[in-house]
Structure 1
Amino acid sequence: MLLVAVRALILYTLLVVVMRLMGKRQIGQLQPFELVITIVIAELAVIPMSNTGIPLINGIVGILVLMAVQIVLSLIILYSEKARKIICGNPIILINNGKPVREMMRLVRINISDLLEQLRNKEYPNISDIAYAVLETNGSISVIPKADVKPPTARDLGTPVEDPHFPISVIMDGNVMLENLKLAGITIDVLQQQARTQQITDLREVFFAQYTTEGKIDFFLKGRDDYL
């Protein structure tokens, strides 16, 4: 049992490192070749993990080889448009100016019910409201609504707005994150001053504080669900 536990720990650590090196993408965002490699890597890890009769090195070598293949393919499609089309394919238009493109739907074997379900998930129940619906190379469907049904933006309304700031955590569980304060361009004095304006005298009472996209600081106190 101890041997199995040690082998499992080694393979788990290796898989975490390999997945980090392969990139940060969710399963639904993977290209087909990336999904295949991920599944095979998982299988290669399970076999030597459960069967102590198989040398551990067999699984490790297989995992490392597939990781190298994935990285090489990713670099190829990054720099070669032709290779990208061959390996990943091309986006396909399923709806054009409010009308389903039946030929393309047949080509990718998507029926109208599946398409409608995807559109409803994106809060577009009417096909006629859609300018384009595109099946992306990773299998997701992107929707571009017609101009008259798209919510108006500040630019459309002629309203001047400021670009958002990057949200940054500045306090976590009562601990001030000094490096993050520097990133936000805030001094500890400014942080304390903002806290005092919201009746907070001790920063250790703050469960979480965030420098928001609007350039202000939200404080969440320990033991309270609301924020000041």
Structure 2
Amino acid sequence: MVITFLRTVILYLLIVVGVRLLGKRQIGELEPSELVLALLIADLAAVPMQDLGIPLLAGIVPILTLLCLTTIFSILNLRSTAFRALLCGKPSILVQNGRIDQHELRRNRLTLDELTEELRLQGVTDLESVKYAVLETNGQLSVLLYAAQQPVTPRQLGRKTEEPGLPLPIIRDGAVVESNLQARGLSRQWLRQALAERSLAGPEEVFLLTVDELGRVYCARKEETHP
């Protein structure tokens, strides 16, 4: 039992480290080669976990080999556009100037219902408002509307705007984040005053309190829990 536990922990940590080495892009967006890698690693790790008769190295060596191979492919992807197109494919323009490219739709084995569903998920219901709809290599649909259909920005209206920056959590689930309090140049006295203005006795009553670069405060009180 102990040996099984240790083998499982070792393989699990190995896979976690390997996936972290692949980078955040691979975690969030699986290319075809990366999907194959994930399936193979899962299969290779499962067998040594269940069968104690198989040496642990029989699972570790193939997993390390696949991770090294993927790293090499990633480097080649960065340096060669031809290799990247061969391994990952190319984006396909499904809609151009409001017209559906039926040939590209068939080539990507995408139905009209699937296309309209993806457009609705992007908040688009009128095809004539679409300048380009591109099926990316990771399977996601990128939609670019005509300029006249895009939301108006303050810059287009000639208005000046201030950048609020990234809100930092000062209190998170009742605990004060001292590093963020110092990063915003704030003191405990300021925090006590901010809580008093919101009729809060202390940080323990706060679920989340954030402050952005303009000094704007967002505060969410903890909800009462009932037995």
Q: What TM-score, normalized by structure 1, do the two folds share?
A: 0.87
User: Is the alpha carbon distance of 1:180 and 1:3 closer, same or farther for their aligned partners in structure 2, counting shifts above 3 Å?
Assistant: same
User: Is the alpha carbon distance of 1:27 and 1:118 closer, same or farther for their aligned partners in structure 2, counting shifts above 3 Å?
Assistant: farther
Q: Distance in 1 between matches of 2:215 and 2:118?
A: 36
Q: Is the 1:27–1:35 contact (alpha carbons within 8 Å) kept by the matching residues of 2?
A: no
- SS of the counterpart of 1:220? strand
User: 2:122 maps to which residue?
Assistant: 122
Distance apart, 1:115 and its partner CA: 1.0
Q: Distance in 2 between matches of 1:60 and 1:43?
A: 12
Q: Deviations over 1:109-166 (max 9, x none)?
A: 2222221111112121221111100011111110011223222222233332212311
User: 1:28-43 alignment to 2 at 5 Å?
Assistant: 29-43=29-43
User: 1:48 maps to which residue?
Assistant: 48
User: Is the alpha carbon distance of 1:113 and 1:206 closer, same or farther for their aligned partners in structure 2, counting shifts above 3 Å?
Assistant: closer
Q: Which runs of 5+ in 2 are unaligned?
A: none
Q: Distance in 2 between matches of 1:80 and 1:183?
A: 42
Q: Distance in 1 between matches of 2:174 and 2:111?
A: 53
Identity over aligned pairs, percent: 39
- SS of the counterpart of 1:156? coil
Q: Distance in 2 between matches of 1:122 and 1:108?
A: 20
User: 1:167 maps to which residue?
Assistant: 167
Distance apart, 1:173 and its partner CA: 2.7
Q: What TM-score, normalized by structure 2, do the two folds share?
A: 0.87
Q: Which runs of 5+ in 1 are unaligned?
A: none
Distance apart, 1:61 and its partner CA: 1.3
The aligned length equals 225
Q: Are 1:24 and 2:24 matched, yes or no?
A: yes
Q: CA RMSD in A?
A: 2.3
Q: Return structure 1 stretches of 4+ with deviation > 4 angstroms.
A: 25-28
